[in-house]
Amino acid sequence: MTTPEQKKSWISYLNGRTISILFLGFSSGLPLYTLIYLMQAWLATAGLDVKALGLFGLMTFPYTFKFLWAPLMDRYSIGTLGRRRGWMAVTQIGLFLVIGGVGMFDPKQELTLIVLAVGVIAFLSASQDVVIDAYRREILAEEEQGLGAAIIVNAYKAASLIPSALGLVLADTMSWQSVFWIVAAFMLPGFICTLLAKEPAVYGAPPKNLQEAIVLPFREFIVRDGLKQAIIIIMFVLLYKIGDTMATALSTKFFLDIGFTTKQIGLAANATGWWASLAGGAVGGIWMIKLGINRALWVFGVLQALAILGFAWLAEVGPDPFLLSAVFGFEAFASLGLGSAALVAFMSRATDPRYTATQYALFSSLAAVPRTFINASVGYIVAETGWFWFFMVCFMLAFPAMLMLPKIAPWNKRDEKA
């Protein structure tokens, strides 16, 4: 049976709330991609060797463990802007100052200070993610959660163009100090949005003290539907994207092994993959309005599993440039676009509005576990199975989470309110 929300045009959901999510999503993605692209290029041109650059991979740890300090953001407010906007403003201004200031150091003489600054950027960025995710969950109506998830996924990806494209182009003709301040300035639209946005309503009584802020979110999650259901939800978040995550962990190595050149891989990634992932996020948000989050998890989950078979097909066919673009495009569309949007919407719906920051930070940290830890085993599996059978294993690993859907997101259950 079609609900009134599903009869509405998706255009009617483009309002001040969803537009604010667009700006905040961009602000959320910019610091991470600055660390990944701009920082790496700066240090490499300064002469740091590959081993030293590799150590900067430790910068991702705050993103994995951000749930540890998320209760502070549920418990305390900063200034007069409110609990959510106050934390957003502080982290955004802090990121603007530190990203801009780091370029003023000399990598050859002040590497220790740069490492410290990178740690501060990662911490502030992960903290900003916590509060923006909480804000998005609380400011959007239930029927807007799917579209909001798609918007923030797309805006997050779009932010990568500033450090990876604009920043690197400017670095060819400008000083690194100027480049870092210009990239940092792109944090300001998000800050202005924070000042203009409306503070979300507080649901129920917020935690009275830090102990409540830490204990109550986890207790509520377990008591809500019982320990068994809580464990199923945790396992689902861990496993929903594990097959695709493993399949793409060594994708560049795979493409090189079967005979593609780095130029062919780069062209396929930039010309096809990036745009396909944006299209997937946009289509996913609109499609979720029609399907609902429950059915989207089923449909998008199947599509992202099928995308893995494209890699297996390529392993059998060999270096076909057209097939490479098709595989890149479909994987980005189905997994980075559709699948990611559906998982973000599900995790948002699974949070209690009273403890949004803590609970969503826990879910998003769990979703990052396969990328951070399980992918370390990928090379050993490939060495034993070869590429074709490795991708078949990844395809099979996509389905344990699908088997949990009847328990946590039944196909015919249309009432999806938290």
CATH number at residue 39: 1.20.1250.20
- The number of folded domains in the chain is 2
Instruction: State the alpha helices, DSSP H only, in 159-292.
Output: 161, 168-170, 176-185, 188-196, 210-225, 227-239, 242-249, 251-257, 262-268, 274-291
One domain for residues 238 and 302: yes
Better pLDDT: 327 or 263: 327
One domain for residues 265 and 351: yes
Q: What is the pTM of this model?
A: 0.77
The answer to whether residue 416 scores a pLDDT higher than 60 is: no
One domain for residues 268 and 375: yes
Query: Is 346 among the domain residues?
Result: yes
Tell me what the pLDDT averaged over the chain comes to: 85
One domain for residues 114 and 195: yes
In the 8-state DSSP scheme, what is residue 57?
G
Phi, psi dihedrals of residue 134, rounded to the nearest 5°? -65, -45
User: What is the Cα gyration radius of the chain?
Assistant: 21
Query: Is 414 among the domain residues?
Result: no
Query: Is 416 among the domain residues?
Result: no
Query: Is 418 among the domain residues?
Result: no
Query: Is 415 among the domain residues?
Result: no
pLDDT at position 415: 45
Distance CA 207, CA 202 (A): 11
* pLDDT grade for 329, boundaries at 50, 70 and 90: confident
* pLDDT grade for 291, boundaries at 50, 70 and 90: confident
One domain for residues 241 and 350: yes
Record the tokens describing residue 226, joined without a space.
């019982």
Query: Is 288 among the domain residues?
Result: yes
- For the chain, what percent of residues have pLDDT higher than 70? 89
* pLDDT grade for 328, boundaries at 50, 70 and 90: confident
CB neighbour list of residue 233: distance below 8 Å, 6 or more residues apart: 350, 408
Element (DSSP H or E) covering residue 35: none
> Angle at Cα 237 formed by Cα 232 and Cα 241, nearest 5°?
130
- For the chain, what percent of residues have pLDDT higher than 90? 36
Burial class of residue 113 (count of CB atoms within 10 Å of its CB; 0-12, 13-18, 19+): middle
pLDDT digits (tens, 9 = 90+) for 42-83: 887 887 765 566 556 666 678 888 888 988 888 888 888 988
| Domain ranges, residue 298 | 212-408
Better pLDDT: 339 or 157: 339
The answer to whether residue 140 scores a pLDDT higher than 70 is: yes
